[in-house]
Each structure stands twice: as C-alpha cells, then as structure tokens.
Amino acid sequence: MEKGNQNVFGIYGLGTMGRNLLLNMADHGFPVAGFNRHDDKVTLLKEESKGNSVQGFTDLTEFINSLKSPKTVMLLVTAGKAVDEVITEILPLLKKGDLIIDGGNSHFTDTDRRYKDLKEKGFHFIGMGVSGGEEGARRGPSMMPGGDKHAYQLVKPILETIAAHVNGDPTVAYMGPGSAGHFVKMVHNGIEYALMQLIAETYEVLKKGLHLNNEAIHAVFKQWNDGRLQSFLLEVTRDIFVFKNPGADHLLLDDIKDEAKAKGTGKWTSQVGMDINLPIPTIDIAVSMRDLSKYKTLRVQAAAIYSDTTEMPLEDNPDEYIANLEQAFYFSMVTAYAQGMHLLYKASQEYNYDLELDQIAKIWRGGCIIRAAFLEDIYSAFSTNAKLEHLLLDKSIQSTLKNSLPGIRTIVSDSAKFGMALPAYAASLNYFDAFRSEKMPANLIQAQRDYFGAHTYELIGKVGVFHTEWQSDVS
Ligand code: NAP
C-alpha cells in the first residue's frame, strides 16, 4: 500500500457541487480527498472544512495516491468535453477495477459511450445524477446512480449516508444499467423546467391579472406552500418575494431582466421525448418560453404593435379567483409530473433501463429540486401498481384531478380572453383533454397523408394497410 492511502472517496473538481459533497462526506466522518487544477478552490475547501477529515490537492498523483484501493474518483466538472479530458488524464494513474463516477449533468448518450469504453479497459463506471444544488450537496442531496451495479455496492454505504433522508429512507437508489442514472436526472430537470414555468405563469396572473403587489403575491405562495402544493420550488419562490438587497426599498426580483437562461437539460428532455415519440408538452413549452424570453428586442417591437388594452376586470372576489388558480396549479403540476413519469416508463423499454418508477419517486421526495408533498402520492401510485403506465390512470389521483378541472378551465379560458400568455397551463389542459379523448381527429391526418403521399392508412375493424387514389375516387 502507498503511504497515506487511507481516503475512501475522492472528488475531482471542487466547484460548487464537488466541494460541498466532499464536505458533506467529511461531516459524516469519512476520510475523503478532493482535487482541483487551480488552487483557489482547494484553499476554499480547506477553509470550509474546519478541521474535518478532508484533504485537498492540486497535485493529481498525490490525490490519487491518497485513495484506498480499489480507488473511487467522482468527477464534478463541467459537463461535456471536460469530462472526457479528465477521464483521459486520470486513467494512467488508476488500476483495473477502480471506479470512476461522473456526478455532473452529462448527456446520457455520452455516459453510454464512456461506460462501454471504460468497461472495455477494465474500469468500473457509474453515471450519477445529483440534485439539490449547493445546499443539497452540503446537507443531503438526492442522487441517481446508474451503470455498474456491482460497483455501486462499493459506494452505497457512503452515498446512503450523505443523501437526504425521508421517513428514514435515503434519497439515493441504483437506477439501472448504462446511462439510466443520467437519464433519470435529465427527466428530473425537464420536470423542474415545467414547474418553474408554471410558477412564473402564476406570478403573471397574480400580477397582471389580479394586480396584486409583491407582498400579496408572497402571501399567496406562502399559503400554497403550507398546503397540498408544498414544494421546494414554491418555498424558493416565497422567499424571493421578500428578498431586498441591504438598504434597498424594493425587491431584487424587480431589478432582474426578464430573459431566462438554461444549461440544456430541459432541451435534452424535449429532444428525447420527440426521439422516442413520447409527448411531454408542458416540458416542451417551458423550454420554448425560456427561449422566447431571450428575444427581448423583438418582444419590445411586437409589444408596441400589438399592445392590447383588454385587461382582466378587477375581481370582486380575488380570494375565489386565487382558489381557482390553486386548482389550476395543482392540475398542471400533476400533469407535468405525469408526463415526466410517462417518459421514464417509455425510455425504460426503449433503452432497457428496467427503471422502477416507485423507487424514482421515492428518492425524489427529498434532497432534490423537484421535491414536493405530491411526490408521496406518486410514490404511492407506483408502489401500489408497479406496472402503472400513466400516472393519470391511478385511482387515487383521479378524483383530486377531476376536482381541480373547474379551476384550470377558468384560468386557461381567461388567459385566452384577456391575452395573457399562460402556455404551460394551457399545454397541461390540452394534453389532458387530448389524453382523455377516446377518439382523436387523427383519422383525418391519416387520410391527408395517404392523399398527398400514398402513406397508407389502417381501417376500423379490418386488418391490413390500405391506400386510395383519392383524386380519382372523388367525383
Ligand atoms: P462549477 O462550480 O462551475 O465547477 C466546475 C468545476 O469543474 C471546477 O472545479 C473546474 O475547475 C472544473 N473543470 C471544468 N473544466 C475542467 C477541465 N477541463 N479540467 C479540469 N477541471 C475542470 O460547477 P458545479 O456547479 O459544481 O457543477 C459541476 C457539475 O455538476 C456540472 O455538470 C453541473 O451541471 C452539475 N450540477 C450542478 C448543480 C448546481 O446546482 N450547481 C446541480 C446538479 C448538478 P477550475 O476551478 O480549475 O476551473
């Protein structure tokens, strides 16, 4: 054994996530080590570790030598080519049988490629989604590992210890083979995009529709977060609606530009949905709205041309309207989770992930950004019926969803009437109305396709594939 090789876990990349995960492990008494190519973050790690059992390195060989064999190195570097560069850099210092974990937001196809490549070379590889941001990493994240199942057993005790816990259960579980972990994390982020867009649209109704001031909007989000809508994202929103910079007389929120940025995981979710023909329109529209927000100059020009003075009339009973909005939010939240879970169901078949949807809901109940009281219902639905294909077909969810229909119909119809853009609310309702249609107008689409492209069609009650010379048959 090399001298000093006592550390049970190493993290390469001491940015926000790497440093905080390492400190979390050290808090729990694990001897751990971290590496960063620049020393500023190593210094920060040492300052923040306050005498804990954590070592920081800028020398890669010393870092790897400090690890106990078989060595585990988790990468928390910027997703993309940096991950490949770092793997190439550390491989010569590792031995066959050692384990590399990629804890960043890597695209699942990159994870599949890396998994195969490292397996051929004799190394274990786990692609692991980590959620919870800075605070989650430090105090207890939700983690979605996938890949080498045998190797997961080696790190399971550490990961289960540092994860958040809900009712005594850790918010980490093996997701499945290959890129399953990163796929699940990607869908988690897609759902996150949808929920954030729904909250933003709620702000639009409260502000532009009901003319509430920030204080009153804060009160609504606070009240919602105390009830069935309780979630981390509403908690965050509630707090944003009271935050002022020192000495400021107004909210920081009011100074922030209305142009949203994105790192791409929402877009990836939509792309995959399209690739495997699985509709997730509430997520899609959330991605599109972030993109539209960036066209500020065009929006300003269009606003001058199409400005519309039709405003929602002042509500005689705003509390009643907010109750409708609460129902609408509940309805759309359920729909957004349902779309994400359906994507996981289909992807599990498509990519042979063998995902257990109840386990996914279980580990999303705590530590992650989309944690919410409603995840208990999702967990219960998939635990009761492991073969459940779509959350909206679950018995216990049906009645609450039906009860929230008057609210969503009021909000979406008012948005159309008064020219307020609420596309995520509308997409959720339209998805639902199409999903509950025993007959869709898709027969006409098939006829059109056959008319102009001889794409053929199938007939009700008659086996086979048919084509018609439509023009000659129409007299
Ligand atoms: P970060 O604070 O920006 O830190 C990035 C780290 O990567 C730094 O230590 C940086 O080192 C290192 N790095 C980048 N390119 C490198 C290269 N070519 N070679 C060596 N080191 C390199 O990032 P983060 O927020 O911790 O995120 C890390 C990963 O976790 C990302 O994939 C991110 O998407 C994912 N993630 C982030 C969050 C979050 O809330 N922040 C949540 C979940 C997942 P230097 O300091 O030397 O530049």
> Which among 11, 14, 17 is the best mutation to test ligand 1's pocket, defined by most ligand atoms within 8 Å of the CB?
17
User: So what's the pLDDT on residue 53?
Assistant: 78
- Dist. CA 84–CA 113, nearest whole Å: 10
Residue located nearest, by CA, to atom 22 of ligand 1: 77
Looking at residue 297, the DSSP 8-state letter turns out to be H
Report yes or no: 334 and 394 within 8 Å, Cβ to Cβ. no
341-354 residue pLDDT tens = 999 999 999 999 99
User: So what's the pLDDT on residue 233?
Assistant: 98
Q: What are 73's strand-pairing partners?
A: 10, 100
To the question of whether residue 65 is assigned a binding role by annotation, the answer is: no
- Dist. CA 33–CA 71, nearest whole Å: 11
Enumerate domains of the chain plus CATH numbers. 9-178 (3.40.50.720), 185-435 (1.10.1040.10), 442-473 (1.20.5.320)
**Contacts (Cβ under 8 Å, ≥6 apart) of 209:** 312, 321, 414, 418, 420
To the question of whether residue 131 is assigned a binding role by annotation, the answer is: yes
- Dist. CA 120–CA 423, nearest whole Å: 47
235-258: average pLDDT = 98
Q: With a cut of 90, say whether residue 222 has pLDDT above it.
A: yes
Chain position carrying tokens 């929602």: 312
Report yes or no: 69 and 77 within 8 Å, Cβ to Cβ. no
To the question of whether residue 193 is assigned a binding role by annotation, the answer is: yes
149-184 residue pLDDT tens = 999 999 999 999 999 999 999 999 999 999 999 999
Report yes or no: 282 and 417 within 8 Å, Cβ to Cβ. no
192-217: average pLDDT = 97
User: So what's the pLDDT on residue 195?
Assistant: 99
To the question of whether residue 188 is assigned a binding role by annotation, the answer is: yes
Q: Read off the amino acid at residue 105.
A: N
- Dist. CA 457–CA 306, nearest whole Å: 43
Chain position carrying tokens 């639905």: 381
pLDDT band at 3 (very low <50, low <70, confident <90, very high): very low
User: So what's the pLDDT on residue 111?
Assistant: 98
Average pLDDT of the chain is 96
User: So what's the pLDDT on residue 311?
Assistant: 80
User: So what's the pLDDT on residue 55?
Assistant: 96
- Dist. CA 126–CA 380, nearest whole Å: 28
Q: With a cut of 70, say whether residue 474 has pLDDT above it.
A: no
Q: What residues act catalytically? A: 185, 192
Query: Which residues have C-beta atoms less than 6 Å from ligand 1?
Result: 13-18, 36-38, 41, 76-79, 82, 85-86, 104-105, 130-131, 133-134
Q: Which of 236, 78, 72, 232 is nearest to 155 (CA)?
A: 72
Q: Alpha-carbon dihedral of residues 399, 404, 405, 409, nearest 10 degrees?
A: -170
**Contacts (Cβ under 8 Å, ≥6 apart) of 121:** 91, 96
Q: Which of 266, 265, 195 is nearest to 231 (CA)?
A: 195
Residue located nearest, by CA, to atom 3 of ligand 1: 15
pLDDT band at 124 (very low <50, low <70, confident <90, very high): very high
Ligand 1 centroid distance, CA of 137 (Å):
13
Q: At what angle do helices 180-204 and 108-120 cross, to 10 degrees?
A: 160
Ligand 1 centroid distance, CA of 20 (Å):
12
Residue located nearest, by CA, to atom 2 of ligand 1: 15
Q: Which of 22, 17, 14, 62 is nearest to 38 (CA)?
A: 14
- Dist. CA 429–CA 409, nearest whole Å: 8
**% of the chain surpassing 90 pLDDT:** 95
- Dist. CA 332–CA 77, nearest whole Å: 34
Looking at residue 54, the DSSP 8-state letter turns out to be E
Q: What ligand 1 atom has the least distance to the C-alpha of 14?
A: 9
User: So what's the pLDDT on residue 1?
Assistant: 40
Chain position carrying tokens 């009240």: 223
Ligand 1 centroid distance, CA of 141 (Å):
16
Strands 99-102 and 72-75: parallel
Residue located nearest, by CA, to atom 32 of ligand 1: 104
Residue located nearest, by CA, to atom 41 of ligand 1: 133
Q: With a cut of 90, say whether residue 463 has pLDDT above it.
A: yes
Q: Which of 299-313, 316-330, 357-371, 404-418 shows the lowest mean pLDDT across its residues?
A: 299-313
Residue located nearest, by CA, to atom 13 of ligand 1: 77
Ligand 1 centroid distance, CA of 104 (Å):
7
Ligand 1 centroid distance, CA of 75 (Å):
9
- Dist. CA 68–CA 5, nearest whole Å: 5
269-281: average pLDDT = 98
> Which among 58, 75, 78 is the best mutation to test ligand 1's pocket, defined by most ligand atoms within 8 Å of the CB?
78
Q: With a cut of 70, say whether residue 329 has pLDDT above it.
A: yes
User: Structure tokens of 208?
Assistant: 């532009």
Q: Is the pTM of this model over 0.85?
A: yes
405-415 residue pLDDT tens = 999 999 999 99
To the question of whether residue 140 is assigned a binding role by annotation, the answer is: no
To the question of whether residue 277 is assigned a binding role by annotation, the answer is: no
Q: With a cut of 60, say whether residue 475 has pLDDT above it.
A: no
> Which among 39, 76, 110 is the best mutation to test ligand 1's pocket, defined by most ligand atoms within 8 Å of the CB?
76
* H or E element at residue 66: none
Burial class (CB in 10 A: 0-12, 13-18, 19+), 457: middle
> How distant, in Å, are the alpha carbons of 56, 134, 141, 333, 335 from that of 44?
9, 14, 21, 39, 42
**Contacts (Cβ under 8 Å, ≥6 apart) of 426:** 412, 415, 416
Ligand 1 centroid distance, CA of 22 (Å):
14
Q: What ligand 1 atom has the least distance to the C-alpha of 134?
A: 40
pLDDT band at 2 (very low <50, low <70, confident <90, very high): very low
Helices H, strands E: what count in the chain? Answer: 21, 11
Question: Which parts of 51-148 fold into alpha helices (H)?
Answer: 60-65, 81-90, 108-120, 133-139
Ligand 1 centroid distance, CA of 224 (Å):
34
**% of the chain surpassing 70 pLDDT:** 98
418-424: average pLDDT = 96
Residue located nearest, by CA, to atom 8 of ligand 1: 15
- Dist. CA 298–CA 296, nearest whole Å: 5
Q: Which of 211, 146, 52 is nearest to 347 (CA)?
A: 146
- Dist. CA 266–CA 276, nearest whole Å: 16
To the question of whether residue 351 is assigned a binding role by annotation, the answer is: no
**Contacts (Cβ under 8 Å, ≥6 apart) of 402:** none
Q: With a cut of 50, say whether residue 41 has pLDDT above it.
A: yes
Q: What ligand 1 atom has the least distance to the C-alpha of 104?
A: 32
